[in-house]
Structure 1
Amino acid sequence: MNWFVAKIVYQIICGQGVHQPQFDEQLRLISAGNKQEAWQKAASIGQQEQHSFLNQKKELVEWRFINVPELYALDDLKDGMEIYSRVEEPENETSYVALLQMKASQLQVPKVLALNL
């Protein structure tokens, strides 16, 4: 078997859909014999994991599977290898960097503090 990284994309629609378009891009690890089989498995996951629910305002929220637009073979797994890259172009550079720093700091909780939680 071979390993692949598949991007599965869902559109998130709330209520009548009168809101800024929203999409969830998920990277999934797929084990398959070849690229075609990996794509089929990823598409099957996308179909199976579509769902809808009512939010707090009793509006229908739908996660609609769009497709699997990207699929990458992981030929030789190595420590630190890049598996995905995306260029971000935020409206506000300072806010974007601050958000990244805040998220990173939450991952760096000292062990002593973590033991006391």
Structure 2
Amino acid sequence: MRWFVAKIVYQIICGSGNHMPQFDEQLRLISAETKQEAAQKAREIGQQEQYAFRNQKQELVEWKFINVPELFTLDQLSDGMELYSRIEEPSDANAYVAWLQMKSAQLQESRFIEINN
């Protein structure tokens, strides 16, 4: 068996969909013999894990499977290896950096809580 990283993309639709478009891009580890088998498994996961629920306003919220646009072969697994890379081009670099710093601080805070509990 070989290892692959598949990007599975869902569109998040709330109510009638009159909102800023949202997409959930998930990176999934897939074990398969071939790239074709890995792509098929990733598509099956995407289809099986679509779901919907009602929010507090009783609006339907859906995670609608779009497709698997990217699939990468991992020839070997090693500590610190790069699994995925994407270039981000935000309209406001300072806001983007501030958001990254906030997310990092939250991650560090949750790690601190785990260690002390």
Task: Tell whether the structures are fold-level matches, with TM greater than 0.5.
Answer: yes
- C-alpha RMSD of the superposition: 1.8
State, as a whole percentage, how many aligned pairs show the same letter. Answer: 69
Aligned residue for 1:76?
A: 76
**How far does residue 72 in structure 1 lie from its aligned partner after superposition?**
0.3
Verify: 1:9 aligned to 2:5, yes or no.
no
TM-score normalised according to structure 2 size: 0.91
Secondary structure at the aligned position of 1:69 is classed as: strand
- Looking at structure 1, the residues matched to 23 and 37 of structure 2 have their Cα atoms a distance apart, in angstroms, of 25
- Looking at structure 2, the residues matched to 77 and 114 of structure 1 have their Cα atoms a distance apart, in angstroms, of 27
Amino acid at match of 1:64: K
Aligned residue for 1:55?
A: 55
Amino acid at match of 2:6: A
Uncovered stretches (5+) of structure 1, i.e. residues with no partner: none
Tell me how many residue pairs correspond in the alignment: 116
TM-score normalised according to structure 1 size: 0.91
For residues 5-62 of structure 1, give each alpha carbon's deviation from its aligned partner in whole angstroms, at most 9, with x where no partner exists.
Answer: 0000001111111111111000000000110110010000000001111011100111
Question: Where has structure 1 moved over 3 Å in runs of 4 or more?
Answer: 109-114
**How far does residue 63 in structure 1 lie from its aligned partner after superposition?**
0.8
Uncovered stretches (5+) of structure 2, i.e. residues with no partner: none
